[in-house]
Chains A and B, each alone.
Chain A
Amino acid sequence: MNKFAKLLVIIFMFLNINNDSFAQNIDELLAALPSAKFSEKEVLVSKLGDLKTETSIKVLKSLEKGTLYFLRSSKKVIYADKTEEGYILTDILTSEIIGKVKKKKIKRISLNNKLRKFTRTIIAKSSLLSQKPHIRIHSAKVIFGSRSVELLPIINEALKKETNDKVKKQIEMTQARLWLLTEDKKLQEQSLDYFSNNTDPKVQSVINEFIQNLDTEKNDSNLLMYNKAISVVKKIESDIKFFKLIENLFFGLSLGSILFLASVGLAITFGVMGVINLAHGEMIMIGAYTTYVTQLAFPNLIEYSLMISLPFAFIVAGLVGIIIERGVIRYLYGRPLETLLATFGISLILQQLVRSIFSPINRPVITPNWMSGMFEIHPALSLSYGRLYIIIFSITVFVALLAILSKTHVGIQIRAVMQNRSMARAMGIKTGWIDSMTFGLGSGIAGIAGVALSQITNVGPNLGQNYIIDCFMVVVFGGVGNLWGTLTGAFLIGIGNKFLEPFSGAVLAKIITLIFVILFIQKRPRGMFALKGRASEINQ
């Protein structure tokens, strides 16, 4: 045990010394920079390159950009950013801002053209061979985007040493891209071979350019190459088309799941009570504002704020729903059109209430980190995490609702009332209580939808109004009182909308969808999945 501890200490000391020597090293190199001649600078640059640390790469980049300066007084090398009121200085080792000075106090460390080119190569080499994979991959990407054929030997070298598969792939791609820019026919052919197996929309323009160059000098060997290049371009194009389709489908699914979340509560209340709740949109709004308030209340838990908001939104919106049912709708039973009006009145009141409490301006709701960002499936296809999670979430809600309605006691009673109110009552089900529960459930789900919507749209007093008509479309399209109908309706409308958009523009796509649903209702006045038999005659 003792020995082990000793060993640890030794290792630790060794590491420490190593670290120190490195720091000294970069310090020494930096100290030498201000007074160095161009020929000496070349040596210093290559030595800096050999360090392969983040700091050294940053120094080289800064040198190349011309933002590396030294203080005339102490000869200390620093970064300097030009602003209107002078230069802001940043320390190299600690990256702390030291202060602001006039131009006279500092002097730029200058380079000539040859040296600048050399520095660029060194930066590439140094970062391609860096310890950290993300630096290597980034550098490979940067070189991929450039036309620096001269870096090819470095790339080849880096590829040999590379062990990380992901980085390796990126470097290979960069290599192939650079091969194409060389004069060597063999390498060009290899490059085309590579790209025909690894399509990437980013190389499309390069290959097109390559084809044009080939066009100007026609001979037999070129023709073969020409055909090969054309086939690669075609492959890339068809890939892009395919992934565009997938992307559209994905957008459609995400829009569909938003529509589903927003409208499923409406479908339930409509199915059970036969009333249309025009204040449904405002329940969504309440959910969104609950998210906003939760984030205000727990500023340290932004990452978890959505999870915290979910139950709150469900409870708040559900309670408001129950109050509305007990206070207003109960008295209008059997008069669906009047219910429509009364709930509309409630929606106006709620909107104005929110305007008075939170101001009419949109409120900022923060998106947690895990919700932002893209998920790259293929170079031509990346999906945003936010949409992905919403799709998953809406399906979860769907399954949960199905389970509630088919497994729980309340759910079974709700379905009984939905199918035959008077019979259910005769069997001892308290229909009034079930109405309240249904309304609470429907409103609560709308509140949950509000939490999801707060991530993708503006949270303002009109949030609900913007969605309510879409919700109606989904409900009447899908058929009343049927969760599967609502799900199918929402996804069909969502996907249809997204597929129309590229041809017609967003607004026209929406108009077309509306007209389609209006026409569809003529054909099937009770929606896609209408209740059949006796149940269809109840609640009308």
Chain B
Amino acid sequence: MMRSNFLSNLLKGDLRAKIFIYLLIFAGVIVPLLNLYTPEDNFLHLTDYHVALFGKYLTYGLLALSLDLIWGYCGILSLGHGAFFALGGYCMGMHLMREIGVRGVYGDPILPDFMVFLNWSELPLAWYGFDHLGYALFMVIFVPAFLAFVFGWFAFKSRVTGVYFSIITQAMTFALMLAFFQNDLGFGGNNGLTDFKDIMGFSLQDTTTKIFLFCSSVVALGLGFIVSNKFIKSHAGIVTTAVRDQEDRVRFLGYRVEYYKLSAFVVSAALAGVAGALYVPQVGIINPGEFAPLKSIEVVVWVALGGRGTLYGAIIGGILVNLAKSFFTVNFPEIWLFFLGGLFVLVTIFLPRGVIGLFADLIKYFKSKKLKTNE
């Protein structure tokens, strides 16, 4: 009772948002239950693999949420959001690498395997401190946020907007991808970071660890949703939304448009970083491929499909597309790109407000029909 009051206060009577949170809590409870307390041959049983898979979808949901925050509410289309996701992931991966310790193939207590392989004798400066989880978690938020701050500071100050901004964010993630592919950078090059053993002393293979990570993803997504919701309902959020619709007018009213954009961009990047950090332990690998421009653009289609400017729509879109991706890439790998490509085209032409918009239209349609028949 206490909790639902708290939620009502937080969401200010936004019914859909409330339904979404309840659904999320439900998922957070039901998935572990189905995993732990159903017999293995039961139809409803979820294996450990499924728990990790759903956990991955939730992190994708958080990534989609972060993009919707700036695209749906601020009108900034970032084609490089995968970069923030991957950076968060790398920070987490570095911590997990350090956790391996002497259990690596070469058994070096400090250096990760790939550094021993490359004949490095010392830990690069960038890796210092990542043996502490607290520091790693701080970096998970700080690194993407800082990059977003610097990038956004320059871009928004000089009023780079629209397509130009999209293009340079794409260039950013492309440049990062090229850089991370280099062995010399010290982040594992081509292979990235992998072979993780455990987190906080618990093996990553354990069911309980997987459930814990899944629940963390639920909590992170829920918190991310509430924070974003809070942000867009706040004064700053309303100004941000105004910037999306009429940037010049807001500027003429005396607001410093760039600061509003910048804060939205930084918050969004931090959220993406968190998503990446939760993604890595559940998937077990992070490599430069995550920086690929294609990945970032894929995130955009999740948001577009779900319905931009609704937050929960983006999350639903993220989860839906990835469900479809899992299905197609396993069963019809040939068709997946046709499907994804078709999705891009069809959604942008026929569903400008996404699945959520379609849903809302349908409800409206049936309501009006009902009214008419009543008359």
Contact = CB atoms under 8 A, between A and B. Distances in A.
B162 A337 contact: yes
Nearest to B170: A469
Given A340-B77, A340-B166, A525-B164, A514 B175 contact: yes
Interface stretch (B19-27, B38-46, B337-345): B337-345
Interface in A90-128: none
Contacts of A514: 171-172, 174-175, 178
Interface in B168-197: 168, 170-172, 174-175, 178-179, 181-182
Contacts of B158: 521-523, 525
Interface in A511-540: 511, 514-515, 517-519, 521-523, 525, 540
9 contacts: A341-B301, A341-B304, A345-B345, A349-B345, A352-B341, A476-B164, A517-B168, A522-B155, A540-B162
A521 B345 contact: no
Nearest to B336: A352
B297 A476 contact: no
Given A349-B338, A522-B157, 7 more contacts: A276-B166, A328-B349, A339-B348, A476-B167, A476-B168, A507-B178, A540-B162
Contacts of B157: 522
B349 A337 contact: no
A507 B341 contact: no
Interface string A495-510: 0000000000001101
Query: Which A-B residue pairs are the 6 nearest by beta carbons?
Result: A345-B344, A348-B341, A349-B341, A352-B337, A514-B175, A345-B341
B168 A332 contact: no
Contacts of B79: 340
Interface in A345-359: 345-349, 351-353, 355-356
B342 A345 contact: yes
A469 B171 contact: yes
A472 B160 contact: no
Interface of A: 274, 276, 328, 331-332, 335-342, 344-349, 351-353, 355-356, 465, 469, 472-473, 476, 507-508, 510-511, 514-515, 517-519, 521-523, 525, 540
A511 B158 CA distance: 22
Contacts of A352: 334, 337-338, 341
Nearest to B300: A341
B156 to A, nearest CB: 10
Given A342-B344, A525-B158, A349 B170 contact: no
Interface string B66-107: 000000000001010000000000000000000000000000
Nearest to A342: B348
A521 B162 contact: no
A353 to B, nearest CB: 8
A345 B154 contact: no
B303 to A, nearest CB: 10
A274 B167 CA distance: 14
B357 interface: no
B337 A351 contact: yes
Contacts of A328: 345, 349
Contact of A469 (B174, B337, B345, B347): B174
A344 B297 contact: yes
B182 A507 contact: yes
Interface of B: 77, 79, 154-155, 157-164, 166-168, 170-172, 174-175, 178-179, 181-182, 293-294, 297, 300-301, 304, 334, 337-338, 340-345, 347-349, 352
Given A341-B301, A472-B167, A518 B172 contact: yes
Nearest to A518: B168
Nearest to A475: B167
Contacts of B154: 519, 522
A355 B338 CA distance: 11
Contacts of A523: 158
A15 to B, nearest CB: 66
A479 to B, nearest CB: 11
Contacts of B304: 338, 341
Interface centre among B154, B159, B164, B304 (most CB of A within 10 A): B164
A336 B171 CA distance: 18
Given A476-B167, A517-B171, A511 B344 contact: no
Contacts of B348: 332, 335, 338-339, 341-342, 345
Contacts of A339: 348
B77 A349 contact: no
Contacts of B294: 465
Interface centre among B294, B301, B343, B345 (most CB of A within 10 A): B345
Contacts of B159: 525
Interface centre among A331, A351, A476, A514 (most CB of B within 10 A): A514
B267 to A, nearest CB: 21
Contacts of B162: 336-337, 540
B188 to A, nearest CB: 16
A522 B342 contact: no
A525 B181 CA distance: 30
A521 B164 contact: yes
Contacts of A519: 154
A351 B337 CA distance: 8
A211 B182 CA distance: 43
Contact of B349 (A332, A351, A465, A472): A332
B328 to A, nearest CB: 12
B160 to A, nearest CB: 5
A302 B254 CA distance: 67
Contacts of B181: 507
Contact of A349 (B172, B182, B334, B337): B337
Interface centre among B163, B174, B338, B343 (most CB of A within 10 A): B163
A338 B305 CA distance: 12
Nearest to A468: B293
A341 B293 contact: no
Contacts of B301: 341, 345
B345 A342 contact: yes
Contacts of A348: 337-338, 340-341, 344
Contacts of B175: 510-511, 514-515, 518
Contacts of A465: 294
A515 B77 CA distance: 19
A336 B162 CA distance: 8
A511 B171 CA distance: 9
Contacts of B297: 341, 344
Nearest to A330: B349
A117 to B, nearest CB: 50
Interface centre among B77, B155, B301, B337 (most CB of A within 10 A): B337
Contact of A511 (B168, B178, B342): B178
Nearest to B345: A345
A120 B164 CA distance: 69
A342 B159 CA distance: 25
